[in-house]
Every structure is written in C-alpha cells, then in structure tokens.
Amino acid sequence: MAIRVVLAEDNYLVREGVGTLIAGEPDLELVASCADYDALMASVGAETPDVVVTDIRMPPTGTDEGIRAAAVIRDEHPQMGVVVLSQYSEPAYAVSFLDGGSKGRAYLLKERVSDIDQLAGAIREVAGGGSVIDPAVVDALVAARSKAADSPLHRLTPRETEILGEMAQGKNNAAVAASLVLSERAVEKHINSIFSKLALSEEPDVHRRVKAVLLFLSAQGN
C-alpha cells in the first residue's frame, strides 16, 4: 500500500516541484498540497495521511508554522510522520521540532530535496517511525552545544539562570523577588554571584546588569 503524503509549502514553484517528485515515486501517493498552516491542518484532518511534508515558514505569520503543525500532529496523530523542509540549519528550529522525541520526524534542508532519493527515503523512514536529521543540522547542533559549554553562563546555578532570565525581561530586583517568591536580599545575593561568575565585578552596577542580560539574550539566540 502506498504511503499517503500531504505537502505544505507556500512557494508555488517549490510546492509543484516537490509534489511532482513525490507523485513520481511508485510507493508514495500525494493526497493533498497546501500553501499555508490552516490548509495544512484541514488536510491533515480530512486525509489522515501517513506523512506530512512541510516547510517551516508559511502564512499566516511566516515564522514557525511547520514546527507548530508538527507539535499539534504529535498530540493528535502520534503515528503520523512529519518531514520538515527548511532553508535554515539553526539549532533552535531543530530542537523545537524534536521536542518530545525524534520518532517519526525528519529535518531536511531544502537544498537536499532535488535529490528524490533523500526526500523519498526520509518519507519512508518517518512513515515507519524512524528519524532523519540533515548532517548540516547535526553539525549546527554540535557547534551550538560547544558554544554553550564555552559560555560563562554555564557556571550559573539553575536559580541564578532563572533570576537572570527575569532580569532580561526588564524587571528590577523587587519585581524579580515578587515573581520568584524570594526576598529582595536573596535576589541581591544571587545577582552579585551572577556578576562575579560572569566576571563583571569591576563594572559599574548599571553596566553589569546590561552586560549580564546581553550575555543571556545572546545565548538564547535573540
């Protein structure tokens, strides 16, 4: 029996090209082709495909529709495979996509889809519950992990990291204390420890706070 596939891609030429590649495989059946998130989710509900092949960025927001669709599909159709096609090897996309497990998930860069063997192979793999991650994405994940290990932020305790995250939202000490149910004195002690671990002890207080937040935001990819 053929593997039933729903394709979602907002670029017409890419959608037609990938659709033609899929339809040309004897063991794959393209049952729907969509251009946005709402149409994708409607097709998933109507067709209950074996595999969804989707771009990451589609209307309406052009941000992470493919990732959000994959999360909904995991909850509502846990046996359904998802192949994400992306122009980006950024680790944050891959980590978000694989949150909850790699079973039945494939992440391919769009530059690979001209090779029908790679695309069809990924579709077949996730249909059977396997996973495929583009080597370039793996390299990016490893590089990001190495960068994180080199960052002084790894010296912080979980509580200090939590407090720095609150500071990054623009909260003063009193607001941080209220949010985390701590005394202001405890927050001050944690912040002084943060400054020390980030080697900001000699900076003026305002500069220390700004630099600490910038380090935190940089590590988050903002």
Structural domains of the chain, with CATH: 3-144 (3.40.50.2300), 151-220 (1.10.10.10)
Q: Are 179 and 171 in contact (CB under 8 A)?
A: yes
Confidence of residue 168 (pLDDT cuts 50, 70, 90): confident
21's tokens: 């590649």
Q: What is the CA radius of gyration of the chain?
A: 22
Q: How far apart are CA 54 and CA 86, in angstroms?
A: 9
Q: What angle in degrees, to the nearest 10, is found between the helix axes of 65-76 and 37-47?
A: 20
Q: How far apart are CA 158 and CA 156, in angstroms?
A: 7
Q: How far apart are CA 101 and CA 37, in angstroms?
A: 22
Extended beta strands in 27-142, E state: 28-34, 51-55, 81-86, 105-109, 131-133
Strand order in the sheet with 81-86: 28-34, 3-8, 51-55, 81-86, 105-109, 131-133
Confidence of residue 36 (pLDDT cuts 50, 70, 90): very high
- The model's pTM is 0.66
**Residue 222: what pLDDT?**
45
Backbone phi and psi for residue 131, each to the nearest 5 degrees, phi listed first: -145, 150
Considering only 26-30, 104-108, 142-146, which range has the smallest mean pLDDT?
Answer: 142-146
The mean pLDDT value of the chain amounts to: 87
pLDDT tens by residue, 69-94: 999 999 999 999 999 998 876 677 88
